[in-house]
Amino acid sequence: VIGVVIGKTDVRGFPDRKNIGSERYTFSFTIRDSPTYFINVNSWGREDYIRSLSESFRVGDCVTIENPLVQSKEAEREEKFNPVTPSCYKLLLSENHSVVKTSSCYEVDTKLLSLLHLPVKDPQDYYSLGDITANGQSLDGRILNVLAAVMSVS
């Protein structure tokens, strides 16, 4: 699978249920290869493997993923912690079988770069800040999608 990384989580550690007293590490990222399709990728493993893999690329990089495990996603649980994707699958990276290679998007396909700037949600599924301000009470407790742009950072 070749795509551009459009999102990425930080590395997290969890107690390993199989080996009491040790930890397993994980991080996730989302790749996109067309305007319509993107998929979440999860990786679990030893701390040094996960940290090294996470540091090997960043959002905006093009990656080639070789030998991922394709799994059906558990929509309700998966989408609580990862971006909602149009696919009913997710990719799982294994330290022993999978490889992630980073390359310049110019080397792969310049069309991938334009995918970075496309929203991942339906354009009709957003609230403007004005709508939220005007209808704040009626929206209380609801999960909303907001499309915004950063004007400045200081």
Q: Give this prediction's pTM.
A: 0.78
The whole-angstrom separation of Cα 14 and Cα 36 is 33
d(CA 153, CA 146): 19
Cβ-proximal residues to 49 (8 Å cutoff; 6+ apart), any chain: 25, 95
CA dihedral of residues 48, 51, 56, 62 (deg, nearest 10):
130
pLDDT mean over 45-56? 94
The closest of 48, 16, 10 to 28, measured between CA atoms, is: 10
DSSP 154: -
146 pLDDT tier (thresholds 50, 70, 90): confident
**pLDDT for 25-44, tens place per residue?**
999 999 998 888 999 999 99
| 71 compared with 79, residue with greater pLDDT | 71
